[in-house]
A and B are shown apart, each in its own frame.
Chain A
Amino acid sequence: MHIMEGYLPVAHAAGWFAASAPFVAAGAVRLRRILAERPQAKMTLAAAGAFTFVLSALKMPSVTGSCSHPTGTGLGAVVFGPAVMAVLGTIVLLFQALLLAHGGLTTLGANVFSMAVAGPWVSWAVWRAASALGASTAVAVFLAAALGDLATYAVTSAQLALAYPDPSSGIPGALIKFGGIYAVTQIPLSIAEGLLTVVVVNALSGRADAVDEIQVLSGGVRK
């Protein structure tokens, strides 16, 4: 989902920075509030960041014959809400842009929007919807993480389609083309991410099958 350095037109790059900035700012405020109100959540918060750090470093083979990486943002979005992931995701993307020449500074706004904003918000919405419909914690976490991961890659496809419409078929044609590269490749990987997120939520909470697993992690229940 990394759009490479210099590969978005200046106006698009600037537009995505403008779109992402408020989410990152709101995320920073929320992060400070969580740390102030629920210091017991600090370790889980750091673990959510670490999970994103690991998963986004792992480029996995997919059935389409190409490789891509999961995002790991669903875990933090489910436990702490989507806002904080804007901050944690930006840190990961900056690391990769500066040290790995992966992604870029000019495309940071666009990449933050797909991985650290759109993905976490979709994860959170899916988590809320699945929980409301009576899904178990494991099923809701799985769906949230998998669909959030997929949403990130769908957004990347859309960002590129907007910037590079097909000469004959326009934006829809370009969307199909970039979607084929990014989103389709991501389907099996997002399922794998969903499964791993269930395992990690469980391991982190240390409470097998507790109904309030997520609440324990978010620091909502004092131990």
Chain B
Amino acid sequence: MTINRSWWLIAAAAAIVAAPLVVPGLGGEFKGSDDQGTDAIAAARPGYRPWFQPLWKPPSGEVESLLFSLQAALGAGFLGYVIGRRQGRRPEERDNVADR
């Protein structure tokens, strides 16, 4: 039952995230909210200069997306490893899940 429920939950989460992209009228520019926040500060305080700059910036969008992907991949990879270990370790309990 739980395996089934997990798939439904994943599908629902995917639908929530995909809806703005496919449902007409929900879309927009899909700018990052962090950037919009920064823009709102600039609009409220014209001429505001950040008093500190990042020590290092990814030189291009490609490098930035590489590092973001790396962050997600490392996290997902490790999470998958732990889940796999747990599931593999208890075959007797896994078999009790009726819908598998």
Contact = CB atoms under 8 A, between A and B. Distances in A.
A63 interface: yes
Interface residues of B, number: 63
Given A57-B71, A106-B51, A185-B33, A65 B79 contact: no
A135 interface: no
Contacts of B86: 203-206
A174 interface: yes
Contacts, number: 193
Contacts of A54: 71-72, 75-76, 79
A105 B45 CA distance: 22
Nearest to B28: A65
Nearest to B34: A2
15 contacts: A4-B34, A7-B38, A52-B75, A57-B71, A64-B28, A98-B56, A100-B68, A100-B71, A104-B54, A164-B44, A182-B33, A188-B19, A191-B16, A202-B5, A206-B93
Given A53-B72, A100-B64, A198-B9, 16 more contacts: A1-B34, A4-B34, A6-B53, A46-B82, A66-B29, A66-B31, A67-B32, A96-B71, A97-B54, A98-B56, A100-B68, A101-B58, A181-B37, A188-B20, A196-B10, A206-B86
Interface of A: 1-7, 10, 43-44, 46-47, 50-68, 95-102, 104-106, 138, 156, 160, 164, 166-167, 174, 177-178, 181-182, 185-186, 188-189, 191-193, 195-196, 198-200, 202-209
